[in-house]
Amino acid sequence: MNFPFFPPHKERNLLLFMTFEELGLDEVILRAVSELGFESPTPIQAAAIPVMLQTDDDILGLAQTGTGKTAAFGLPLLHHLMQAPFIYEGVRTTRALVLAPTRELCMQITKDLKLYGKYSKLKVVAVYGGEDIRRQLSQLDVTPEIIVATPGRLIDLVRRGKVMLSNIEYLVLDEADEMLNMGFKDDLETILKETPAERRTLLFSATMPKEISAIAHNYMRSARELQIGERNAGTENVDHIYYVCKAEHRYDVLKRIVDLNPDIYGIVFCRTKADCQVVSEKLIKDGYNADALHGDLTQVARDNVMQRFRLGAVQLLVATDVAARGLDVHNLTHVINYQLPDDPEVYTHRSGRTGRAGKRGISVSIVHIREVRRINELERLLKRTFKRERIPSGLDVCRKQLFNQIVRLQSVDTAMLDEDATAAANGLKEAMSMLDYMPKEELIKRFVALEFNRFLAYYKDAADLNVETKTAKNSSDKSAHGKPSGRGKKVRMKINVGTSDGINTRSFLALVNDTTRDRSITIGDIEVQKNYTFFDLFLDQKQKVVNAFKIYEDLFVVEAKGMKPRENSDSDNYSGKRRKGDNDSYSGRGKGGANGHSDKPWRKGRR
């Protein structure tokens, strides 16, 4: 098995030319690693293991979960513990301590260490809060060489005299920034002070806030800084996008995002437990495959939700930051910030949950106008561009859903029907005879209606939820619906029909609408002459109109050479959208032909 992602910079060479054998790890560890199918070290492993094996330096590692961090510290740790005797002055003793912010991470690290140390006879025990302490006490009856713990529970056990810190040789602080975020600062300091000063300390963190630098400065010796990926940067593989809406439309926008991405697998982050509960209940009621994860649930309920989410049985997990901390899922397509977090580092953590394992991920933020400023702050801090997207219209969503349904139909596997001849033959035959009379068009229509009606009914009169902002930089507002923003240059155009063909302003617009079938086309300042009609057009729409008219043999739309567009305001323009007071004759769209010109000569000449 190859590690799924490719490091972007110089570590790549290390990765390509280095094997686990070359790193000098103990034979027993190499065997376990090889059984796990690890072929070559990941960048953080290639960087950290030599430092651990060949020097006495401490390590300050900037690396996210999913980079192979556990083996980066775990393999050399096991190696060292195996090289020296198990028994410390004749007594078994705990020699390594790994601290992690959550129970789930403790369990994960313990599981990994047990796998890596499968042939080592070293004992690893996990102790964490939120579980009856008695079971953990009995696990400590035989002193383990390695303890993996949450800080609070560890201190509890130290106070009870069940764990001794005086012989700790290796102290690993994993996800140190998370531990600080969770309020473990004092506990960490206590542990750092109570473990021997000559211990080796390895600190891993996804971000490097001031408090972490302070810990490194105060408690670490000649720390080697290993940085995999950019400092404080959102992961390379994540696209950051945002939608601007009114605060009261947040939920509707969320639904549109989900509807536009039928295969979404993501976490929706809310700020409070109450918001989490409300949003997840609404989603479930509206027919989505969602569930909530927050601190008001019992541990059993939380485990259950996480497990179903990991397995993909839940598509959308609505979670608070704290509750989602222990969740380690690698293939999320989206992270949705239903509300932005106060702390930019929390944003980094959230968005770093997608775009892992070599895949691209999307971090979406739903913001209201006053929050756009905070997006700009995040852009500065992460040194990444956040792209503003238009909130999809009802029509966009319907189109996408229909497209998805067709793709599913095209790719469905019918092999089972062919294989299971009897059962299939019966069922298939029956279905064929029942539907035999139905023409193909009708069949398609019904198939579409089957799933599509729900969306059509909901989105039929769906409002435009976009909020226009003056400062909307990076806007990708070029939707085919409504007016494009930042209208550009206009050109004066000419077409070879006029009053002699029975054309007037309205029937001309009907002709344009019928021909282009594009509601965003904006026509300005129409002047109908005897044989020609002149009009203004935005330059970026010129080609679209010219191309659309190519269906007629004898109609030509060209730029009126030497004529300047008349600089009208928008209000004098006509777009495909029907406006109040307009009568039917000017919108021939969707009625099977353009009103008012169906007997005109160019109708005969369609190419």
Closest approach of Cβ 438 to ligand AMP, in Å? 51
Q: Which stretches does DSSP call E strand in 478-547?
A: 490-495, 522-528, 533-538
Closest approach of Cβ 303 to ligand AMP, in Å? 19
The DSSP line for 19-62 is -HHHHT--HHHHHHHHHTT--S--HHHHHHHHHHHH----EEEE
Closest approach of Cβ 23 to ligand AMP, in Å? 11
The smaller minimum CB distance to ligand AMP, of residues 31 and 429, is found at 31
Tell whether residue 65 is a contact of ligand AMP (CB under 6 A).
Answer: yes
Closest approach of Cβ 69 to ligand AMP, in Å? 4
The smaller minimum CB distance to ligand AMP, of residues 32 and 375, is found at 32
d(CA 538, CA 488): 6
Helices (H) and strands (E) in the chain, counts: 24, 21
Among 3, 73, 386, 586, binds ligand AMP (CB under 6 A): 3
Tell whether residue 70 is a contact of ligand AMP (CB under 6 A).
Answer: yes
The DSSP line for 107-175 is HHHHHHHHHHTTTT---EEEE-TTS-HHHHHHHTSSPPSEEEE-HHHHHHHHHTTSS--TT--EEEETT
Closest approach of Cβ 286 to ligand AMP, in Å? 34
The smaller minimum CB distance to ligand AMP, of residues 42 and 575, is found at 42
Closest approach of Cβ 63 to ligand AMP, in Å? 8
Sites for ligand AMP among residues 45-64 (CB under 6 A)? 45
The smaller minimum CB distance to ligand AMP, of residues 65 and 205, is found at 65
Closest approach of Cβ 173 to ligand AMP, in Å? 15
Tell whether residue 69 is a contact of ligand AMP (CB under 6 A).
Answer: yes
Tell whether residue 68 is a contact of ligand AMP (CB under 6 A).
Answer: yes
Using DSSP's 3-state secondary structure scheme, residue 237 falls into coil
The smaller minimum CB distance to ligand AMP, of residues 97 and 510, is found at 97
d(CA 114, CA 116): 6
Among 32, 43, 58, 67, binds ligand AMP (CB under 6 A): 67
Amino acid at 4: P
* DSSP type of residue 586: G
The smaller minimum CB distance to ligand AMP, of residues 204 and 508, is found at 204
What would the x/- binding string for ligand AMP be over residues 18 to 47, using CB under 6 A?
Answer: --------------------x--xx--x--
Minimal CA–CA distance to 72: which of 106, 105, 45? Answer: 45
Using DSSP's 3-state secondary structure scheme, residue 327 falls into coil
The smaller minimum CB distance to ligand AMP, of residues 46 and 147, is found at 46
Tell whether residue 1 is a contact of ligand AMP (CB under 6 A).
Answer: yes
- Asked if residue 85 lies in contact with residue 29, where contact means CB atoms within 8 angstroms, the answer is no
The DSSP line for 219-232 is H-SSPEEEE-S-TT
The smaller minimum CB distance to ligand AMP, of residues 51 and 378, is found at 51
Tell whether residue 66 is a contact of ligand AMP (CB under 6 A).
Answer: yes
The smaller minimum CB distance to ligand AMP, of residues 38 and 219, is found at 38
Closest approach of Cβ 463 to ligand AMP, in Å? 44
d(CA 215, CA 227): 17
Distances (CA, A) of 381 to 45, 234, 243: 28, 10, 19
Question: Given the rule CB under 6 A, which of 65-73, 250-258, 377-385, 582-590 is the region that contacts ligand AMP?
Answer: 65-73
- Asked if residue 601 lies in contact with residue 594, where contact means CB atoms within 8 angstroms, the answer is no
Other beta carbons within 10 Å of 34: 12
Site residue total, ligand AMP (CB under 6 A):
13
**Interface ranges with ligand AMP (CB under 6 A):** 1, 3, 38, 41-42, 45, 65-71
